Structure 1
Amino acid sequence: MTDLNALGRWATWTEIHQQPDIWRDWGRALDVAGLRAWIASLDVEEVWFCGAGTSAYIGDIVAAGLEGKRFRSVPTTDIVSRPQAFLSGVRPLVVSFGRSGNSTESNGTLDVLDALAPTAPRLHITCNRDGALATRASAGPLKVIALPEATHDAGFAMTSSFSTMLLTTLALFDAPCDVAQRFAALSDQLRGLLPLMGAETPLPERAVYVGSGALAFAAREAALKVMELSAGQIPALWDSSLGFRHGPKSFVTDTTAITVFVSSEMPARAYDMDLIAELRSQFPMARVQAVGVGGDLDIAMPFGAVWAAPLCVATAQIAGVRWAEALGLNVDAPFTGRGTLSRVVAGVKLYPVVK
């Protein structure tokens, strides 16, 4: 059995548990009115959410959760490799996410914009006040949101950086609300949920996370957290609740931990619940957990499913740390000694932008 007190020696465990305090304080400090006014003043056709890895998944969650608007998730890894495919005859607001703000693809995207869309407005949301996203100038309109220093996670896995960048983006692009009040409510909710997420769970051989809409992409981030923290020793799959039956369900074994993020929205919630019943019937030996409205871990979603995404993902953050500890790994640096992955991605060679 994992000693919960011992987990406190890991920065990652602390960074997960500091999220309620960060959200509450940041909700009061963020200049929502000024930033929303600046965004409204821009003459843009689309808003692009750009990042790599977890930072890209923030864009996926937002674009899926805020329907009916011209929002696109465009990973920096795609922009850098095929810039002309995106920047042709369009003037977007490019919203860039970065924990360090120094990844090769973050810099490469800025190079692409300088070459092909120098006057396109940019909004940089970063956890590092000294990184390229925070310090590099632009020929066009630019705003930089430097999150609190505490969000600049020291651990390998992005946790508070992910959630705070996501909530910041929702505060700026979802329907107007009392952001300080909403962040405080989410803070209280996560604070109450975290002890419930600490229940002992057997170490699985595989993990699956599924959901609908924005929560499908929250499932993507959840699966990544488990793979990162376990250094790949626990393969993890993600999909949508309806898409999972179309082949990916073949991944499930009797020793798979399956988590379904249950939406508050209909008919998505009905499909989520149907899948849970099916999986429990077909795989009675597997552990199937419903996380969300009315689930085994009951997460209310008064502001909609997209705002609950960081609450759902926190379950995988907690599970990932516990499972990494059980595997005897360095939770803050699971790939120590391998040289295959690093906290800030390295080894990417940038090529010149062809105009």
Structure 2
Amino acid sequence: MSVDSYLTLPVAALKQAGGYWTAREISQQPQIWRQVTAEHQPRCAALQQFLQPLLATPLLRIILTGAGTSAYIGQALAAHLQQQLQPGQRVEAIATTDLVSNPGLYLDPALPTLLVSYGRSGNSPESVAAVELAEQLVPGCRHLLITCNSQGKLAQFSQQDPERCYLYALPDATHDQSFAMTSSFSSMYLATLLTFAPDNTYLQQLISGAEQLLQHRLAEIKQQAETPCRRMVFLGSGPLQAIAREAALKYLELTSGQILSHYESPLGFRHGPKSLVDAGTQVLVLQSSDAYTSRYDLDLLAELQRDQKALRLDRLSEQQLLGSSSLPDAWLGLLLILWCQALACFKSMQLGISPDNPCPGGQVNRVVQGVTLYPYVKA
């Protein structure tokens, strides 16, 4: 069945504006999440056969790694996944860009390690280098490779030693064609939850909420995007701080750096970053679904309202989107990032920028280029 519009915008207009793929990939996420869930079921037995011996290992260390947007998956989920582990085991989010530049600081040969690698294309230089360094420095390291490209270098690496590697290849449609990662981010994120912390109730609420957002809230998002800001700030606590970070990156990428974006936690914002708020600053608070945590979110929002310096203040909560507060923040983050992706896409087109290719000069690329990798020799 053909689709004549995405994000309420006609396909012809989106193609003319250079936003077809971005709008399509943002819009497809509820459908893609259903597909990821359906395809997860047949792989469960093999995946658990790979994971269960590891999850029974004392002192197991799980490292969630990726670069840029892919790194933020681990940052959002590490604390949530930690709650699923045995005492003495730990989950850490360490970007490939840190692992590659400082492997001796982050890779411990004495600890049994599962490296969970995220990659849209699976071809970024740091993605490949991180798994190779783990192989070099951590004897017997295991690898869970979550990628949107079954033909990429990460996927190829999994074939070298099937006993120690598991390839979690997502549907081809998650391999975003646009510059910025949208459905690839959320699909790898969801695959991680389904693997380590599945909950069908949360999943159904999430998908239903995303469908409702795309059907009924886009006019509100577009109106937010029409605010003539010079700076954009996203604030979130706990897992939602990483979602705020990803939202800020999407906004920066899709506006080609014309509008500076920033992220922080509501409590951390007072410790210096609040200095950037002026009459050209728009702020969006991603409110936690946790009653305790959200008090800090609302306190900061009230303070900014009293200051009367910001151009615009908004908050986004599960209560507003779903009429309830039952989703843990690790699940709620997927719903909030969908809003922020649409916000960035609308803003990009309002500025006359192509969301699909916001940097036509090639200074920043869809798959990172220009990285020189050096052999690591421990001093």
Deviation at 1:37, TM superposition (A): 4.3
Counterpart for residue 74 of structure 1: 94
Letter in 2 for 1:332: D
Is 1:324 aligned to residue 329 of structure 2?
A: no
Is 1:129 aligned to residue 134 of structure 2?
A: no
Q: Secondary structure at the match of 1:192?
A: helix
Give matches, 1:155-304, under 5 Å: 155-174=178-197, 176-178=198-200, 182-194=202-214, 195-199=216-220, 200-201=223-224, 202-283=227-308, 286-295=311-320, 300-304=324-328
Of the three residues 119, 124, 128, the one matched with 1:98 is 119
RMSD: 2.0
Is 1:148 aligned to residue 175 of structure 2?
A: no
Structure 1: distance between partners of 2:156 and 2:9: 39
Structure 2: distance between partners of 1:173 and 1:65: 10
Question: Residue 198 of structure 1 contacts residue 318 of structure 1 at CA under 8 Å; is this kept in 2?
Answer: no
Counterpart for residue 352 of structure 1: 375
Q: Secondary structure at the match of 1:294?
A: helix
Q: Secondary structure at the match of 1:93?
A: strand
Identify if the C-alpha distance between structure 1 residues 3 and 305 changes in structure 2 by more than 3 Å, giving closer, same or farther. closer
Structure 2: distance between partners of 1:63 and 1:24: 23
Is 1:29 aligned to residue 29 of structure 2?
A: no
Structure 2: distance between partners of 1:185 and 1:37: 29
TM-score by length of 2: 0.87
Q: Secondary structure at the match of 1:11?
A: helix
The range that moved more, 36-45 or 236-245, is: 36-45
Structure 2: distance between partners of 1:34 and 1:259: 42
Structure 2: distance between partners of 1:73 and 1:198: 36
Deviations 1:25-46 (A, max 9, x none): 2112103454234212123611
Identify if the C-alpha distance between structure 1 residues 113 and 189 changes in structure 2 by more than 3 Å, giving closer, same or farther. same
Question: Residue 289 of structure 2 contacts residue 327 of structure 2 at CA under 8 Å; is this kept in 1?
Answer: no
Q: Secondary structure at the match of 2:356?
A: coil
Deviation at 1:276, TM superposition (A): 1.3
Counterpart for residue 4 of structure 2: none
Identify if the C-alpha distance between structure 1 residues 7 and 292 changes in structure 2 by more than 3 Å, giving closer, same or farther. farther
Structure 1 gap segments, 5+ residues each? none
Identify if the C-alpha distance between structure 1 residues 242 and 285 changes in structure 2 by more than 3 Å, giving closer, same or farther. closer
Deviation at 1:65, TM superposition (A): 3.2
The total of aligned residue pairs comes to 349
Question: Residue 291 of structure 1 contacts residue 299 of structure 1 at CA under 8 Å; is this kept in 2?
Answer: no
Identify if the C-alpha distance between structure 1 residues 20 and 3 changes in structure 2 by more than 3 Å, giving closer, same or farther. closer
Deviations 1:309-352 (A, max 9, x none): 11111121111111110111111010002x21000000000000
More helix per residue: 2
| Identical pairs, percent | 40
Letter in 2 for 1:168: A
